[in-house]
Structure 1
Amino acid sequence: MITKKTQTSSQQNGDATIKSRLASIDVMRGLIILIMLIDHVRERFYYHLPVTDPMTIADTEASLFFTRTLAHLCAPLFVFLTGLSAWLYANNGANAPRDPSSFLLKRGLFLILIEMTLVNFSWFGSYQTLYLQVIWAIGLSMISLALLCRLPRAFTFALGLVIVFGHNLLTPINFSPNEFGYTFWTIFHDANFLVSEGPLRVKLSYPVLPWIGVILLGYSVAPLFARNISSEYRQSSLLKIGGLSLLLLAVLRGFNIYGETTDWQVEENGLETIMSMINFSKYPPSLHYILLTLGVGLILLALFERFKNRFTDILQVFGSAPMFFYILHLYVLLIAYKLVLATVGPNHGDLFAIPGVAYIWLITAIIATALYYPCKYFSVYKQQSNNKWLKYF
């Protein structure tokens, strides 16, 4: 016989499991956001030493290389978690599943609009070139998922794998600007200018095909976060998939078999050889890039569900208001840079630059601390508000 006390205890344990499951996603987002902040501080205050894609080992100091490599985690995990969250939106409780197509379509179009307006203006404070970057890629990936999410999960999973593992085969294909297919190929595979002349140029930095593969994988793996899946099974599965991804990467990269445009090679010293081995292409993201970032991300996602402390609580606050933080930090960086440039003046040509990579991390810590409470207040307000548009932030 099950007593009321037993039922209450069981329900409380279930609620705790659900909260832990969902909190781990926000904690993961929060970590991504802070790492992203590091990279954007670099692009704002250390741009006198821009990095190539993939990075040029001989011209990139080790501290800058590893700071940039750490930031590689951001885009793949943002896109993967977007797919995962779309499935959770469709399967948000004991009620019958709902169709996420409309939400994905509207959210995708909203993100593209935000990219073209608020985000693009925040980088330069003017419109000379319209850069279509990560928010554009997430938006277009969401629109693609809106068209594909009604298909059987086995199909979306297989299609995601085919895209992620197969898109490197398309690297030799390219089009010149005057050829038919150039616009399509620029959007889906090759980063390039969509419009290279005129009063407003348009540069596409994030070709979307690999990201469609990543969002499909996120959507397909998301049932691991269903209510009826135990935390032990979910964590074990995430650790196994993440570990398998890294093992496969070690084999493919170790023997330079397939999945990256540039082979690694033995450099002048051990550190530079390690740098060469993990020097992956991002535009578009190579198979090796995706295996590394998703492999590490899945392992962290499992660990974040196991451990809860003050640090994870802080990360959860940032992760609960990702778009709010994204837009806010870009304008904080823009205003801060303009003020420094106006008061101190340029010290590297037309640019102002900080003395070293350590300052990137220091500035990041200062800005993250300053934005913590605004994010916390906005997150609470968003949860209490009935305004549907706020949910997009």
Structure 2
Amino acid sequence: MESIAIPAAAPQRVAATIRIESIDLLRGFIMIIMALDHVRDYFHADALVYDPVDLTRTNAFLFFTRWITHYCAPLFMFLSGISAFLSGGRKTKKELSLFLLKRGVWLILLELTVVHWAWYFNFLGHGMDLTVIWALGISMVFLAALIHLPLWAIFSISVLMVAGHNLLDGVHAPGNTLQGFGWALLHEQRPFTYNGFLVLVGYPIIPWVGVMALGYCMGSIYTKNYPAEKRRKLLMTLGFTLVALFIIVRAINVYGDGRPWSPQSSSLFTVLSFLNTVKYPPSLLYLLMTIGPALLFLAWMERTPGWLGQKVAVFGRVPLFYYILHLYLLHLLAMFATVFSGHQWSDMVLDYALWTGRSSAQLEGYGFSLGITYLVWIGVVILLYPLCKWYDQYKRTHKDQWWLSYL
């Protein structure tokens, strides 16, 4: 297998970089797919009733509606790491570290305010959720420190975090305690309640930091001086290797995931069981299953995208803008949709996030078929495109405005 060239010490400035269209294209696809999961949260009739990957209640179409969105969070983290490396081509190591630190803190602040309000539509809700934007922000904070190490050391640490963190699956810190909360931040998804206020640690950080750091290392093959054909071959080799590792390790069924697969009532559901890996925190097998195919996609898309690809890449160039905008649009549409299910629009003003299940009583009987859910998803993406295209063009023509790098 062709190896990644990792220098003994990272230079003060990396080689000059160019914008890689395949990265924007992949990020655009995952942003579109991500919206499907959130539309399902807000519109599907069974979203508040059961988990779509619960094999005792789901069907194949619903399962894959949820499963395909598993690619979103790890690839967004991974591509953010690549982007961090490429942005270092225009900065000193100190400047890049400071930028990552500030952007990471900014993202955490957004999670606790702007993103929180988008999910709740309630400034005085009874919950707070540390989810994907929090994980992205805290991973950048850690990456701000890691980039001062040699690239080989960053690679080694990130592989250890991704491949070895499942050794911690049996470690728990029970109770509604500070110790329990600290451990949850690191490795165990858990809710905590303080005087009726619910804090959900949705994205424990150890594996996510490792994923972003791996992306940072992968950024070294996207510098201007790295041969494109060599990069394509390396991506193909790594992609097929990770997919093969997923199949082999998953088949052994001993390590790498807290949810072992088992034979089911049909061959189809046995396959679903095989694919049903753990996301919170993302297991080794979950990450092999998602990052491997993504590397193959990047290898195959090493060319100028066609008409559709150019449209999709627009979303990939303005991901945070798209993310925030789509949450507010979805929640606003859901407020109107509640009326068609015999509810008041105010039932979508939430005290707790939808995924906690604590809002199910006020929304009992609400929801639509999976077909309607898909139609809403397509409509939302179409509605967002002109706004994202406008903002993309604005960013391109106003590169001198520093604040644009934070949205």
What is the TM-score normalised by the length of structure 1? 0.90
Match of 1:65 among 63, 71, 80: 63
Match of 2:115 among 89, 111, 119: 119
**8 Å contact kept, 2:118–2:327:** yes
Aligned runs of 1:85-104 on 2, under 5 Å? Answer: 85-92=83-90, 99-104=95-100
Give the Cα–Cα distance (whole angstroms) in 2 for the partners of residues 181 and 128 of structure 1. Answer: 22
Tell me: CA distance 1:359–1:154, structure 2 relative to 1, closer, same or farther (3 Å): same
* Offset, 1:96: 7.0
Give the Cα–Cα distance (whole angstroms) in 2 for the partners of residues 369 and 383 of structure 1. Answer: 22
For residue 202 of structure 1, give the secondary structure of its aligned residue in structure 2: strand
Output the amino acid matched with 2:208. W
Give the Cα–Cα distance (whole angstroms) in 1 for the partners of residues 245 and 307 of structure 2. Answer: 34
Residue 248 (str. 1) matches residue 248 (str. 2): no
Partner of 2:170: 172
* Offset, 1:98: 6.4
Match of 2:381 among 358, 368, 371: 368
Pairwise CA RMSD of aligned residues?
Answer: 2.2
Partner of 1:12: none
**8 Å contact kept, 1:115–1:132:** yes
Match of 1:44 among 12, 24, 42: 42
**8 Å contact kept, 1:304–1:312:** no
Deviation readout 1:327-365 (Å, 9 max, x if unpaired): 000000010001121355249964364442222221111
Tell me: CA distance 1:37–1:178, structure 2 relative to 1, closer, same or farther (3 Å): closer
Aligned runs of 1:11-22 on 2, under 5 Å? Answer: 22=20
**8 Å contact kept, 1:54–1:279:** no
Tell me: CA distance 1:96–1:340, structure 2 relative to 1, closer, same or farther (3 Å): closer
Deviation readout 1:75-129 (Å, 9 max, x if unpaired): 000000111111001024xx87664100100000000010000101111211220
* Offset, 1:178: 5.1
Residue 206 (str. 1) matches residue 203 (str. 2): yes
Partner of 2:395: 382
Deviation readout 1:50-96 (Å, 9 max, x if unpaired): 5877932111111111011100000000000111111001024xx87
Residue 234 (str. 1) matches residue 234 (str. 2): no
**8 Å contact kept, 2:93–2:147:** no
**8 Å contact kept, 2:204–2:281:** yes
For residue 322 of structure 2, give the secondary structure of its aligned residue in structure 1: helix
Bigger mean CA offset, 295-304 vs 319-328 = 295-304
**8 Å contact kept, 1:141–1:208:** yes
Deviation readout 1:122-149 (Å, 9 max, x if unpaired): 1121122011100000000000000111
Tell me: CA distance 1:50–1:61, structure 2 relative to 1, closer, same or farther (3 Å): farther
Partner of 1:31: 29
Partner of 1:160: 158
* Offset, 1:201: 2.8
For residue 149 of structure 2, give the secondary structure of its aligned residue in structure 1: coil
Residue 358 (str. 1) matches residue 371 (str. 2): yes
Residue 319 (str. 1) matches residue 316 (str. 2): yes
Output the amino acid matched with 1:248. L
* Offset, 1:276: 0.4
Tell me: CA distance 1:257–1:200, structure 2 relative to 1, closer, same or farther (3 Å): closer
| Same amino acid, percent of matched pairs | 37
**8 Å contact kept, 2:21–2:304:** no
Tell me: CA distance 1:22–1:276, structure 2 relative to 1, closer, same or farther (3 Å): same
Partner of 2:331: 334
Deviation readout 1:169-199 (Å, 9 max, x if unpaired): 0000001125563222110101113x41226
Q: Which runs of 4+ in 1 moved over 6 A?
A: 51-54, 95-98
Count of matched residue positions in the alignment of Structure 1 and Structure 2:
373
Give the Cα–Cα distance (whole angstroms) in 1 for the partners of residues 152 and 119 of structure 2. Answer: 40
**8 Å contact kept, 1:321–1:375:** yes
In structure 1, runs of 5+ residues without a counterpart are 1-17
Give the Cα–Cα distance (whole angstroms) in 2 for the partners of residues 342 and 53 of structure 1. Answer: 25
Tell me: CA distance 1:382–1:307, structure 2 relative to 1, closer, same or farther (3 Å): closer
Give the Cα–Cα distance (whole angstroms) in 1 for the partners of residues 88 and 167 of structure 2. Answer: 34
For residue 201 of structure 1, give the secondary structure of its aligned residue in structure 2: strand
For residue 261 of structure 1, give the secondary structure of its aligned residue in structure 2: coil
For residue 73 of structure 1, give the secondary structure of its aligned residue in structure 2: helix
Output the amino acid matched with 2:392. S
